[in-house]
Amino acid sequence: MRIIKKIFGKTSRPQLEGGIFFESIQQILGFAPGNLRYYKKAFTHRSSNILDENGSPINYERLEFLGDAMLGSVIAAHLYKEAPSGDEGYLTKMRSKIVSREHLNELGRDLNLIQFVESKVPPQHFGENIHGNIFEALIGAIFLDKGYSFCEKFIHEKVIIPYVDIAKLEGKVISYKSLVIEWCQKEKLHFHFDVFDDNGNDGQKYFGVRLSINNKVVAKSRATSKKKAEEIAAKRAYFAFQEKINKN
């Protein structure tokens, strides 16, 4: 395994070298970074197998945890201020919509953060969630480097101002599966997701899903993960029963 000096010295990714990395990060942040080590760590994938002087791994996962907490805090404060009539359940649901994995992935893609990732894994093998993971890690790096006020300002400029429209978010569905399950439970309907392997001719592993309601198959789907396949099947079921579901 490589040691800490190598990631902060010469790297296999030319855009991470010295001034180029500094300029690129400064453009994204909107301010000059102080300690570049935090930001380089935010873009280090665990596959790089880098250790610090204490033998602890250097990658973005701990920063991702920190950034998630900072993001949730700033968004919660914003919603508390902007939705004074919303109760706890409403505020929690709205925050979930803003910090959903789908939305965070969108934010990471829009900033093209993946270009900075240091990894032994080819980019095409990254999972979709890496975009959101790195975005959260970047927020964590900002907090450690500059403190809460800079972190808050970055979230306002990159998340709240361009993306947070409370009126639109109220009607946004973040989980069709949850909607369908909630409807079935309320109407005392029996539902079941039948998941099975569905390997394609291209060698990629897929999962097939059949969603049954009261022992009748109402939707089918196919995706590269069980979770995605279930969500797609639930979405199709939702639109099939949309009129009935929305009456509740």
Let me know how many helices (H) and strands (E) the chain has, helices first. Answer: 13, 5
What is the distance in angstroms between the CA of the first residue and the CA of the last residue of the chain?
A: 57
pLDDT single digits (tens) 67-79: 999 999 999 999 9
CA-based Rg of the chain, rounded to a whole angstrom?
21
SS3 178: helix
Give me 16's structure tokens: 């991470």
Q: Which residues are annotated as a binding site?
A: 64, 133, 136
pLDDT digit string, tens, across residues 97-112 = 889 888 899 999 999 9
Task: For residue 196, give the H/E element and its range.
Answer: strand 191-197
Per-residue pLDDT tens over the stretch 185-199: 989 999 999 988 776
Distance CA 209, CA 217 (A): 10
Domain ranges of the chain: 2-169, 176-246
The helix (H) or strand (E) run that includes residue 122 is none
pTM over 0.75: no
**Model pLDDT, residue 226:** 87
Q: Could you list the active site residues?
A: 68, 136
- Please give the Cα distance from 230 to 76 (Å, whole number): 29
Instruction: Flag whether pLDDT at 2 surpasses 60.
Output: no
Position 20 scores a pLDDT of 87
* Domain 176-246, architecture per CATH: 2-Layer Sandwich (3.30)
Q: Which CATH class is domain 2-169?
A: mainly alpha
Is-same-fold flag (2-169; 176-246)?
no
Give the containing element (helix H, strand E) for 226.
helix 226-240
CA angle 44, 46, 50 (to 5 degrees): 75
What per-residue confidence (pLDDT) applies to 18? 55
- Confidence at residue 131, expressed as pLDDT on a 0 to 100 scale: 94
Task: Reply yes or no on whether the pLDDT at 9 is more than 50.
Answer: no
The one-letter code for the residue type at 11 is: T
Cβ contact 106:129 at 8 Å: no
- pLDDT at position 90 is 86
Burial 30-45, CB ≥16 within 10 A → b, else e? eeebeebbbbbbbbbb
Residue numbering of the annotated binding site for Mg(2+): 64, 133, 136
User: How far apart, in whole angstroms, are the C-alpha atoms of residue 158 and residue 112?
Assistant: 13
Residue with tokens 């996962």: 61
Q: What is the pLDDT of residues 198-223, one digit of tens each?
A: 766 656 778 899 999 999 999 999 88
Please work out, in degrees rounded to the nearest 5, the angle formed at the alpha carbon of residue 216 by the alpha carbons of 244 and 218. 55
